[in-house]
Structure 1
Amino acid sequence: MTMDRLARLLEFLQNEPNDPFLKYALATEYVRLNQTEEALKYYLDLVDKHTDYIGTYYHLGKLYEQLNKQDDAIKTYEQGIEVGKRIKDQHALSELLGAYNSLRDEMEDW
């Protein structure tokens, strides 16, 4: 079932190669499949080409945490916080601040 979903998303992306939702869906699907390199590729493309796609920053940060790349996670959260402020998305901003503060607290405890 999951591979079918992945194949469909890839097919949709061929028809709409600049659709940020499809890129985000693919990144999320690759995380579920534990294919982190592919997930990173799509998340980083979103950060580069669709900077206002705010959900990317939280999930990319969490992926970096999973990969024990805490410094990259912090930078990603900081970047997302700036975007959240600029586009005035209070919900996303709140989630990003929570993730950022939680990780900072963990890092201080090390």
Structure 2
Amino acid sequence: MNSERISLLKQFIADEPSNPFNKYALAMEYYEESPDEALNLLRSVLSDHPDYLPSYFKAAHLLWENEDWDEAEEIFKKGIELAERQQDEKATLELKSAYQNFQFDRD
């Protein structure tokens, strides 16, 4: 984690609380070393900005790693639906592929 970048992103969140990218970017800073903090931020993005597509993939993966199967599945499905609505073919394929791997892992 880069403490300077974290401080800067926290300031961006304070300055622009309605910009989902700032929370998402902060979550990515925490992703490896503080996954619980990353997941809290991603849940906040999903709640406050349900159309912010990148958050679905990362949140579902953290939930999968935590073996929170039901919530991970829900996030994957919502992300796939959103990607299809937004006609984002790349994100749709990535989410569907990850969801398929998740299902194999879960069984």
TM-score, with length taken from structure 2: 0.92
Q: Which residue identity does 2:83 align to in structure 1? A: G
CA distance in 1, matches of 2:64, 2:47: 20
Which structure 2 residue ranges, 5 or more long, are not aligned?
none
Q: Which residue identity does 1:25 align to in structure 2? A: A
SS in 2 for 1:51: coil
Give the superposition deviation at 1:59. 0.4
1:3 match: 3
Give the superposition deviation at 1:39. 1.2
Give the superposition deviation at 1:27. 0.9
2:88 match: 89
* Superposition CA RMSD, Å: 1.3
1:22 match: 22
CA distance in 2, matches of 1:98, 1:105: 11
Render the CA deviation track for 1:17-60: whole Å, top value 9, x for unaligned: 1111101001111113x222321221111111211111111000
Q: Which residue identity does 1:4 align to in structure 2? A: E
CA distance in 2, matches of 1:16, 1:26: 13
2:59 match: 60
Which structure 1 residue ranges, 5 or more long, are not aligned?
none
- Once the two structures are superposed, the pairs formed by residues 43-82 of structure 1 within 5 Å of their partners are 43-82=42-81
Runs of 4+ displaced beyond 2 Å:
none
